[in-house]
Each structure stands twice: as structure tokens, then as C-alpha cells.
Amino acid sequence: MNALAATSRNFRQASKLLGLDSKLEKSLLIPFREIKVECTIPKDDGSLVSFIGFRVQHDNARGPMKGGIRYHPEVDPDEVNALAQLMTWKTAVAAVPYGGAKGGIGCSPGDLSSSELERLTRVFTQKIHDLIGTHTDVPAPDMGTNAQTMAWILDEYSKFHGHSPAPIDLGGSLGRDAATGRGVVFATESLLAEHGKSISGSTFVVQGFGNVGSWAASLIHERGGKVIAIGDVTGSIKNNNGIDVPALIKHKSGGGALKDFSGAEAMDSKDLLVHECDVLLPCALGGVLNRENAPHVKAKFVVEAANHPTDPEADEILAKKGVVVLPDIYANSGGVIVSYFEWVQNIQGFMWDEEKVNMELKKYMNNAFNNIKHMCKSHDCNLRMGAFTLGVNRVARATLLRGWEA
């Protein structure tokens, strides 16, 4: 099942639990706007190359639309649509005043030089500049993009609209870089506390060692958790006594491959997700837990740091096994929460210190967890449906209050 079908299915289940009117349900599912643009640029060798860019703006009932722009070869309209819809529910779960959007360009950023990436980003911005902005749609970094990409978007946007306090996430708030990973750790703390456990003394497997995975692993290590296996595209490693995460980060930032790290032994990447541990953190691509490997998952808890890492069939298998899954629309919302703090700081022109950013993030993550637990009790459902009913209900109420007509 692809990401769009799975997200829509979760939405429909939540809608049924909430008893939403069928016409309202249909209207909430339909995106506000879908944009598809051709981005043709000259390559460094003088040849022309064309890429397709997308921006899906899903819903703006609760505020300006918000969502990342990813550069990845697998970017397609269905995936972008699913992720935009997911952002609508995610921002509502987190109680930040945004709607959902998502964008991307189907390209392999690793195959493009820095100047080619800059040209591509600027052409994409030229095509969508009149549809984004502080109070309309706020793009953010995502897979394959970073603060540099955002700086190019900001610069190109400013050529058309003059100075704007915060048309784009520029990676400007302190704590923004660590936000998603830190949010994952706060979410994990809340989940474990609910079951009488804590990070200290628990074992963790982290799949994906990019921004989110490395920050999550580092903060878990800091709190006395034992990270016993880690994997990324270059390979997987394990050490049952716990991996020295700061040493691994140093090794990787020096250009070393994960599998060559001396403080752990290499393992088959296929075994990573089914390695014995207390908490499994998928932090990379979607769809990694499926009907083939879900029956063999040995973790007691799965914290979805990636978007849509568990497909619905795997969800059912894990539920039958008694594995508790903390859903992506809550678990990885730290990034969008701190993006919201950044937006507030930029509009006010008043910056917070990192301690305040982290303290506010913890407060938002804890409140969201308590609200999800309340929905679980009200609707007698699991955490995924608790999160979806919370998010969908908030968007539906905003839509009705604004005067939606059947």
C-alpha cells in the first residue's frame, strides 16, 4: 500500500471514530491546491536538463500551510500528496497554528554540483514564489535539502517580494537542527514513562543516521540509554554493550562509513529492524516495516521518527504481537514545532535562547502526548488512531467554525 492510500485509510478510520459527516470528510481529504512545474536548468557542462517539481498545499483552515521541500529521485505526486495531508494532521496534533503542505523535486542531489543545485532551487522558486510566503505557505528543509537550500529560496523569493521577516525557514532558530531528533526523544520519554520505564537502562536500535537518527541516538546516549545497533545506507553495526555514539558521530563527520567504525561489529542490514531491543527507531525512509519483516520484530516499542515507516499490514501484525507503535504524526513533530517557534521569533524580530526553545518543545511534546492518551481513552483506540482523531478533530472543528457549508 503506498503512502497516500495508507494516510487516507488512517484518516477515514479516524473520521469514522469521530462520526464526521461524509461530505465534510470528503472535503477534508481533497487538497487545497496542487502545483506541478517543469524546472529546466543548464548543467555545468552546458547541456540542458529538466526536472519536475511539486508543491501540494493541503489545508489552511488552522493557519498558513507548512511543510518541507525534499530533493529525492522518488518524489512523485502521490507521495507529496500523502506527506502534505500528514502535515495537516501533524500540525493539528502538535497544536501549532498551521495547515499542511509538502513539496519536492524528483532529482538525485548527490549527482548535482552545488551550483547546479542552486540553479535548480532558484528556478523552482521562480515558478512557485507567488504561492508561498509568511502567511500563505512556509517551506522548510526536508530530505536532500538543508539551510543552504532555504537561503537560496529566501534570496530568490525576496527578488519578487522584497524583504520578508520569515518567508522561509532559514534554519534560523537555535535548536532547529536538533529539533526533530530531540522531539523524538521527548516522545520516547513520555511513552516509556507511561509503561513505568525510562530511557536510562533501555536498549535502542536506530535505523537511519542522518540528521534525525544521529541527534536521537546522541540524546539517548546522553540520557543513559544503550544504543546497541545503528544502520544507514552504507551498512549496519552492532555492539550489545552499547555503541559510543559521540565517537561514531566523530568517525562519520570525518568521512568514515558507518560499517568501518571500530567500536562495533558489522551486521546484515536486513537484520537491523528485527534486532532484539526495547525500542526500535526507524529514522529513514517510509515503508520499512512491512508484512515480511513485521512478524520478526523483537522490539517492545516502535517510535516512528521517519514519515510512514510502518505500512498498515505491519501495523496490524505488530498490534497482534503487543508491540506499541508511537505514530509519526506525533513522534517526529519536533521539527515542525520548532519551525513554528522560529516563525514566531522571526515575525517578532526577537530571538530566544536555546534553553527556552528546548523547554517549550518539551512542553508541546508532553501536552500532545497527554491529549493523544485522552483520545485513546475516549475512543478506545491505539496511539495511531488517538493521534489521528486528535488531529482530524481539530481541523474539522476549525473548518466548521470558519463556515464550511455542506
Q: For residue 340, give the C-alpha cell.
A: 513554528
Q: For residue 58, give the C-alpha cell.
A: 493541503
The answer to whether the annotation marks 399 as part of a ligand binding site is: no
102 part of the active site: yes
Question: Residue 35 — φ and ψ, nearest 5°?
Answer: -120, 135
Alpha-helix runs per DSSP H in 275-353: 312-321, 328-331, 334-348
The answer to whether the annotation marks 339 as part of a ligand binding site is: yes
Distance separating alpha carbons of residues 304 and 59, to the nearest angstrom: 23
Radius of gyration of the chain (CA): 21
Beta strands in 214-292 (DSSP E): 226-232, 235-238, 265-267, 279-282
The answer to whether the annotation marks 8 as part of a ligand binding site is: no
3-state secondary structure of 96: coil
Catalytic residue among 102, 226, 238, 300: 102
Distance separating alpha carbons of residues 57 and 101, to the nearest angstrom: 4
The answer to whether the annotation marks 81 as part of a ligand binding site is: no
Distance separating alpha carbons of residues 17 and 160, to the nearest angstrom: 46
249, burial (CB in 10 Å: exposed 0-12, middle 13-18, buried 19+)? middle
Name which of 153, 161, 147, 146 is nearest 120 in CA terms: 153
Please name the residues in contact with 302: beta carbons below 8 A apart, sequence gap of 6 or more.
Answer: 279, 280, 281, 282, 289, 310, 318, 323, 324, 325, 326
The answer to whether the annotation marks 300 as part of a ligand binding site is: no
Return the residue matching grid coordinates 523547554. 359
Distance separating alpha carbons of residues 141 and 147, to the nearest angstrom: 7
Name the binding residues for NAD(+): 180, 211
Q: List residues with catalytic annotation.
A: 102
Name the binding residues: 66, 90, 180, 211, 339
Name the binding residues for substrate: 66, 90, 339
